[in-house]
Amino acid sequence: AGLGVASLGLSSMNGSAAAVETDSTDQWTRAEAEQIKLTDDTTAPVISDNPNSISDDYWIWDTWPLRTRDGSIVKINGWQIVFSLTAPNDLVPGARHNAATIRYFYSRNGKNWQEGGKAFDAPLGHHQWAGSAMYDQTEEQIYHFYTAVSPEPEFRQRPALGIGASIETSPKGVELTGDQEHLIMGTPDGEMYQTLEQSKDQGIVYAFRDPWYFKHPETGEDLAVFEANTPTGSKDPSDPKSFNGNIGVMRATNDELTEWELLPPVMEAIGTNQQLERPHFVFNDGKWYLFTISHKFTFAPGLSGPDALYGFVGDSLYGDYKPLNESGLVIANPEEAPFQAYSWLAMPQGDNILVESFENFRGLDNTSRGSISLDEVGYLPSEEQKELFGGTLAPSLKVQLNGTETKIVAELNDGHFLPSVGRSG
Ligand code: FRU
């Protein structure tokens, strides 16, 4: 990806000599996105059989596993734990975002999941959106990264962190206990990261959300990538420059992780795409694989791409990144079912990745020819809307990583949706 709006500078960090150097922000360019094409290697099979059932009472969408500081998936006394955005499934699907609550689920075999309840006692925000969960094995406590969101229609978003939950296991199940301290990790600065107020002038959706924790594999620093926008000053929604998605990063400035500083974004899609959602890394063979999800409707005028998992590969936090498969496309929904899944999350599995996602809308197409378009769903009677919505986990996909190329090699239609982990913890 070519060089873009550069926010250069070496930030000092706790006086630590090993601190990561910030560098110029890479761009996902229009020329790269113009290469997007669905191939056998990048197109998911149509979901025909979906044995993943995790809850009878709730819609489930964005989901993440409990991971250690190093990023491996945690298994404690035989139990795996995942966290999901949930909302009561008597709501119409579109209403779920304003009612999203993070709940945890646990399983011994990765197939049969039990509901554990809410992840927090008193989180920040009217409701909570996506995040990540880190378990420090020495402290034996969970760091819950999430997005504290204000009510509709504003949806002001603030990355938040809840510290202090511990895990109690028994042969029967898992319980999260302990008082948690909740704090806001940061707010947009208006220069590297667009504020809600700036985005109002622009008349377009804004984002400052989805913190995903990771430990820098070389310097050991505590970092979090997140979804945001770069202020471009453009106030015209037909101007490609109004499409200004970025992948931001912040760094903890103390060991308790209670204080964070914003660093320049690692990736921008100015003129290309408005939303680079749920960004996350997979470290493989010394390479930094940066993944993000995006929608068809957030591509800038003149570009088209599917609801999909997109990805880039580089040598360090600031790249330089190359889009995977020339364009960035890694997993697209099939043309026959363009909204069948969303919110893909890639997890390392040996030399491959395993990618979980949720089942979104069935039976919709792009065109509204003969079928229903995504825009029309909200106008259907509520029972019909619910009928079309999956609201559960989709079959996970195994994807081979091969330098700058990837290939979907298998669909896990056996009910498992996480990489299998050995005994630990
Ligand atoms: C992706 C997403 C996230 C956000 C959540 C809101 O599916 O848009 O970016 O946290 O869903 O429901």
Q: Which domains does the chain have, with CATH numbers?
A: 26-412 (2.115.10.20)
Q: Which of 83, 84, 85 to mutate to test the pocket of ligand 1 (most atoms within 8 A of CB)?
A: 85
Tokens, residue 383: 């029972």
The label of the residue with tokens 């511990």 reads: 166
**Ligand 1 nearest atom to the CA of residue 358, by list position:** 7
The active-site residue, picked from 221, 222, 277, 359, is: 277
Q: Give Cα 193 distance to the centre of its chain.
A: 18
Asked if residue 264 lies in contact with residue 189, where contact means CB atoms within 8 angstroms, the answer is: no
Question: Which of 36, 40, 39, 18 is closest to 28 using CA atoms?
Answer: 36
Do 80 and 110 meet the contact criterion of CB atoms below 8 Å apart? Answer: yes
Q: Which residue has the higher pLDDT, 275 or 377?
A: 275
Average pLDDT score over residue span 288-310: 96
Residues with Cβ within 8 Å of 57's Cβ and at least 6 positions away in sequence, in order, are 88, 89, 115
Distance from the alpha carbon of residue 157 to the mean position of ligand 1, in angstroms: 11
Q: What's the confidence (pLDDT) of residue 355?
A: 98
Q: What is the pLDDT of residue 86?
A: 98
Whether 2 shows a pLDDT value over 90: the answer reads no
- The pLDDT confidence band at residue 18, using thresholds 50, 70 and 90, is low
**Which tens digits make up the pLDDT trace of 215-226?**
999 999 999 999
What's residue 366's pLDDT? 60
Asked if 63 and 82 touch (Cβ cutoff 8 Å), the reply is: yes
Distance from residue 294's CA to the centre of ligand 1 (Å) = 10
Residue whose CA is at the smallest distance from ligand 1 atom 9 = 277
Q: How sure is the predictor about 163, in pLDDT bands with cuts at 50, 70 and 90?
A: very high
pLDDT tens digits, one per residue of 68-119: 999 999 999 999 999 999 999 999 999 999 999 999 999 999 999 999 999 9
Query: What are the tokens at 198?
Result: 């700036």
| Segment 368-387, tens digit of pLDDT | 445 677 878 888 999 999 99
Each residue's pLDDT tens digit, 390-422: 999 999 999 999 999 999 999 998 999 999 886
How far apart CA 424 and CA 341 sit, in angstroms, is 31
Residue 9 scores a pLDDT above 50: no
pLDDT at 22: 80
Instruction: Tell me: pLDDT of 145 over 70.
Output: yes
Show the tokens assigned to 93. Answer: 């699907």
Q: What's the rounded mean pLDDT across residues 140-164?
A: 96
How far, in Å, is the centroid of ligand 1 from the Cα of 147?
Answer: 9
pLDDT band, residue 20 (cuts 50/70/90): confident
Spacing, Cα 359 to ligand 1 middle (Å): 14
Question: Is 170 or 20 the better-scoring residue by pLDDT?
Answer: 170
Q: Which two tokens stand for residue 337?
A: 């079912």
Q: Which of 149, 209, 293, 297 for a ligand 1 pocket mutation test, highest count of atoms within 8 Å of Cβ?
A: 209
Question: Residue 7 and residue 191: Cα distance in Å, rounded?
Answer: 10
β-strands 396-402, 352-361 pairing: antiparallel
Q: Which listed residue (32, 62, 227, 307) is catalytic?
A: 62
pLDDT, residue 310, reads 98
pLDDT at position 425 = 44
Distance, in Å, from the CA atom of 311 to the CA atom of 321, rounded to the nearest integer, reads: 9
**ipTM attached to this prediction:** 0.96
pLDDT (tens digit, 9 = 90+) per residue, 50-64? 998 899 999 999 999
Task: Output 363 or 417, whichever has higher pLDDT.
Answer: 417
Q: With contact defined as beta carbons under 8 Å apart, do 146 and 102 qualify?
A: yes
Pocket of ligand 1 (CB under 6 A): 61-62, 85, 97, 100, 129-130, 147, 209-210, 227, 277-278, 342-343
Residue 371 has what pLDDT?
63
- Per-residue pLDDT reduced to its tens digit, 118-137: 999 889 999 999 999 999 99
Residues of the chain with pLDDT > 90, as a percent, come to 82
CA of 56 to the centre of ligand 1 (A): 21
CA distance 393 to 232: 36
- Nearest-CA residue for ligand 1 atom 8 is 277
pLDDT at 6 over 50: no
Give the ligand 1 atom nearest the CA of 342.
Answer: 7
Say yes or no to pLDDT of 309 above 80.
yes
Q: Indicate if 62 belongs to the active site.
A: yes
110, 418 Cβ separation under 8 angstroms: yes
Number of the ligand 1 atom closest to the C-alpha atom of 147: 10
Which pLDDT value is given to residue 370? 52
Q: 160 alpha carbon to ligand 1 midpoint, in Å?
A: 15
Among 62, 84, 307, 359, name the best residue to mutate to test ligand 1's pocket (greatest count of ligand atoms within 8 A of Cβ): 62
